[in-house]
Amino acid sequence: MPAPYTESRPLPPYRALFAVDAKDFTGLPAVQHGPVSQLIPELVDQALERAGLHALRDSKRFPANTGDGVVFGFDPVFLPYVLWPFLGVLDDVLGAYNRQSVGPRIRLRASVHVGPLPDADRPGDGNGTARNDTHRLLDSRPVKAILAAASEQITHLAAVISQRVYEDVVLGAYTGLHPDRCVEVPATVEGKSFSQQAWLYVPSPSGNLVQAGVQPREETADAEANAEADAASREAAPATQPGTRYSGNSQQVNEGAALMGNVGGDFTYTGRSTSYHGSNQHWGSGDNVTGDKQVGGPGDRR
């Protein structure tokens, strides 16, 4: 057992990490757990193939089936392609499956991270702080809340990207994922001493998320230029709502998820009435919802 801070030793190689977790898996009947657990890695591999990432599919490091999801490491050289187009392709694959399946819908949370991890074909490979943080990001409140808020008919995937990946890959412009498609959030996990800044990306946001400022990936270059102009306007006239701080195209809130547009607390937006379907969902300082919930009428703030 190595004793920390007693000597210098080689830094393990940097490995990128990808993990997914199925929404409401524990609410499924026990007889469906096994088939769904087997189905998720098959859908992920199908998306890797369709995204042209055959080399990544065949070179996963320390892959593991977590029951309600999968996690694996890979060479960081693939990170730009995992962010774009793979996440969008995975959303498409899930949507196609959900539209034709008579079984339970498969809606996933995903997390993408990178960091030093042992990888020498020995037992214990892949374990370390970067692996732990990947799972914490996956379980964080913002990504859970945004998937719960979105329409199950439209939004099949919500991804959370670590600050390190965002800075190196997105801001470095190595990927086709534009920074304006990402929303900065404080990633916290209930009951855990974990708090990091991270970035949400939803490939196919439903209407209520679009109203709150989450951009669909089909946005044109003109729309992105308009978004930049809107951001400049927001900088010129910053919001004064307590507990919210705006900075360019991002904003930060104390709990829940931060979104561009009119946001307060967890999610506040103006639009049509929205129905939520599912088992218990925790919204931080917001509602705890059980079963179906009909919220407000036309024009209400929610």
Q: Which tokens sit at 176? A: 């086709």
Q: Which tokens sit at 281? A: 């969902």
Res. 288 pLDDT band, cuts 50 70 90? very low
pLDDT at 262 over 60: no
Type and span of the H or E element at 153: none
Distance CA 14, CA 171 (A): 19
DSSP conformational letter for 13: P
pLDDT number for residue 260? 40
- Segment 19-45 shows an average pLDDT of 93
16 DSSP β-pair partners: 74, 114
pLDDT at 155 over 60: yes
User: Please, what's the largest Cα pairwise distance for the chain?
Assistant: 65
Q: Are 75 and 13 in contact (CB under 8 A)?
A: no
pLDDT number for residue 78? 98
Alpha helices in the chain, H assignment, sequence order: 30-50, 54-57, 79-81, 87-100, 129-138, 141-149, 163-165, 207-211, 221-236
pLDDT in tens, 49-79: 999 999 999 999 999 999 999 999 999 999 9
Q: Are strands 69-74 and 157-162 parallel, antiparallel or unpaired?
A: unpaired
Distance CA 21, CA 157 (A): 10
Arch. (CATH architecture) of 14-269 = 2-Layer Sandwich (3.30)
- Return the higher-pLDDT residue of 243 and 141: 141
- Segment 235-252 shows an average pLDDT of 37
Q: What's the pTM?
A: 0.73
Least confident interval from 136-140, 159-163, 191-195, 290-294: 290-294
pLDDT in tens, 188-226: 999 999 999 999 999 999 988 887 777 787 643 444 444
